[in-house]
Structure 1
Amino acid sequence: MDTPLQDKVVLITGGAKRVGAAICRMLHAGGARLMIHYRTSTGEARALQSELNLRRPQSAAIIQGDLLNVAILSSLVQETIAHFGRLDVLINNASSYYPTELGEIGEAEWEDLMGSNLKAPLLLSQAAAVELRKQHGCIVNITDMHVERPKKGYVVYSIAKAGLVALTKSLALELAPDVRVNAVAPGPVLWPEDNPQFDEVYRQRVVSQTLLKRLGEPEDVARAVRFLTRDAPFVTGQVLAVDGGRSLSL
C-alpha cells in the first residue's frame, strides 16, 4: 500500500485490548476504518468501538468469534466486506500464550496454541486473499522475538510463532505482486496477565537484558504495524523486531 490509510478497511484479530487496542487506535487515527475481532473481551470491544465511533462516526465495528472454530474464519472476512464494502488490511494479532513443559504437552495445548497462532492466520489470509489482491492490500502478522531463540518451557508456542514467520514469507511469495505480507516481532512490551512466572525479579532481569534498558509500550508495536501498512510500499516478506535490542543479548 503506497497510499494513506484514509478510509482503508482493516480487519484485526484480538483487537479489543492490550497491544491489539493500541494498533486499532493508531490506525484509526490515521483514517482507517476498523473491524475489531474479539473472542471473550466483550466489554473492552464495545468500549473501544464506542470510543472510536465517537471520534469518527461509523468508522469501527466489532465481531465476535473463536478462532479455533475454523468454520467461522471465512465469515469474519465476508462480514467485514459486507459491512464496509472492502478489505485492505488483515492484521493477525490474536494469540494464545502460556508454557508447555516437555513431557506434559497434550493435544489440547497443541490445538489451542497452533490454532490461534498459526492455523487461524493461514486460513484468514486465504479467505481474504481475493479481496486483498483486488485492493492491493497487505497482511501484517504479529509474531515474537523468541522465534529464533526459543524460550525454555514454551515449546508449542515457540513452534507456532516460528511457523508464523514461515507463513509470512510464504504468503509474501504466493500473493506477490498484489499483496504485501510482513510481520512484527515484539519483545518485552506488556507482561502476560495473571502469570506468577513473571515476578519482579524476572521482570528486572528482562529489562537488564534489553539494550535500551526499558520495556516497550504497546504503541511501539502499533507504530511498526502502521509503518508496514502505510509507509512501506516496497517491503514484503520481512519481520520487523520491536524488542529494544533484547534479541541481540540472548
Structure 2
Amino acid sequence: MNKLEGKIAVITGGNSGIGLATAKRYVEEGAHVYITGRRQKQLDLAIESLGKNATAVQGDVTINADLDRLYEQIRREQGRVDIVFANAGIGVFIPLEEVSESSFDLMFNVNVRGLFFTVQKAIPLMPDGSSIILCGASTATMGFAGLSVYIASKAALRGFARCWSVELQHRRIRTNVLTPGPTETPLYGKGLREDQVEPFKTLAALQTLTGVLADPDEIAKAAVFLASSDGAFIIGADIPVDGGHAQV
C-alpha cells in the first residue's frame, strides 16, 4: 500500500471500466486522482465510489478547451501532475466498405489526437521523474476484420511511447503503453448488434489462455506498477496484460 502516496494523477475516461478500476487502485495507494469523462452523471457515480481523494472534471479529450480547463484546475488546486493515464478510447466494429469519414475521424480523434493533446498539455505541470501511461490494445499487433480503423489508431501509441521516451529523457519522464487484452468493460463489443455481444465476448475470452475476459482490476494493478517507483526502469515499453491474447 501507499506506493503512490502524495502523487497527483489524471485518468481520462475514468468514470467506468479500466479507468475507474485504476482510479480506485490509485486512491488506495495514496494518490489524489482527477478523472475525466463526457457524462456528468457517470462521473458523479464514480466519485461516490472513489471518495474524497478524487475529483471529477467533465470534459471531452477531443476538445482542447476542455483539456486546458482540466489542467488549469489542477494547476490551481495541486500545482503539478505526477501521473497521466491516457485511458479514454473508443472502438467500433465497422467493415472496411462501410467506414465513413465521420466514424474514421471519431476513432482517430479520441484514440490518437485526444491522447496526444492529453499528454502534451500535461507536460508543463509534470515534475522530473513523472510517469505517462497510454492505454493500448492487444489487437494493435493483430488483424481482425471490421477493426482496421481501431487497430490503426491503437498502433499509433507505440510510436508515441518510443518518441516521447527519448524526447523527455532529460527530465526522466517515462512513457509506456499498458496493453490490455479482452476485458469486461461497458464499451467491449460496441458497434455490434445486441444479440452479437455475448457470443463475441465468449469468442474473445477463448482467444486468451485463461479462457475468460480480464477484470478491469487486473489492468489497474499493472497501471499502479507503471506509475510507481517499482516501474522506474521501464521506459518506452509495451506492457501486455492480455492473458496471452497477442503473445502466443
CA distance, structure 1, for counterparts of residue 238 and residue 78 of structure 2 = 29
2:189 to 186, 192, 205: 192
CA distance, structure 2, for counterparts of residue 115 and residue 107 of structure 1 = 12
What is the CA distance between 1:99 and its match in structure 2? 1.7
Secondary structure at 2:146 match in 1: coil
What is the CA distance between 1:150 and its match in structure 2? 2.9
Percent identity over paired residues: 26
RMSD: 1.9
Aligned to 1:122: 116
Spell out structure 1 runs of 4+ moving beyond 4 A.
Answer: none
**1:139-150 maps to which residues of 2 (within 5 A)?**
139-150=132-143
TM-score normalized with structure 2 length: 0.90
Aligned to 2:15: 16
Query: Which stretch shifts more, 181-190 or 96-105?
Result: 96-105
| Residue 46 of structure 2 corresponds to residue 52 of structure 1 | no
What is the CA distance between 1:45 and its match in structure 2? 1.2
Aligned to 2:149: 156
Which amino acid in structure 1 is aligned with residue 214 of structure 2?
Answer: G
Secondary structure at 1:103 match in 2: helix
CA distance, structure 1, for counterparts of residue 99 and residue 189 of structure 2 = 20
CA distance, structure 2, for counterparts of residue 149 and residue 193 of structure 1 = 19
Kindly provide the CA deviation profile for residues 65-84 of structure 1, in whole angstroms up to 9, marking residues without a partner as x.
Answer: 12222333233222222222
Structure 1: segments with no counterpart, 5+ residues:
none
Kindly provide the CA deviation profile for residues 119-159 of structure 1, in whole angstroms up to 9, marking residues without a partner as x.
Answer: 11111211111222x24211000010011113211121111
Structure 2: segments with no counterpart, 5+ residues:
none
TM-score normalized with structure 1 length: 0.89
Contact 2:179–2:240 (CA under 8 A) maintained in structure 1 = yes
Contact 2:131–2:174 (CA under 8 A) maintained in structure 1 = yes
Contact 2:135–2:180 (CA under 8 A) maintained in structure 1 = yes
**Alignment coverage as a number of residue pairs:** 241
Which amino acid in structure 1 is aligned with residue 209 of structure 2?
Answer: L
Query: Which stretch shifts more, 111-120 or 192-201?
Result: 192-201
Which amino acid in structure 2 is aligned with residue 219 of structure 1?
Answer: D
Change in CA separation of 1:194 and 1:152 when aligned onto 2, cut-off 3 Å:
closer
Kindly provide the CA deviation profile for residues 186-235 of structure 1, in whole angstroms up to 9, marking residues without a partner as x.
Answer: 11111335733744433333222211222211011001111100120111
Kindly provide the CA deviation profile for residues 16-51 of structure 1, in whole angstroms up to 9, marking residues without a partner as x.
Answer: 1111110000011000001110112x2221122233
Change in CA separation of 1:39 and 1:200 when aligned onto 2, cut-off 3 Å:
closer
Aligned to 2:161: 168
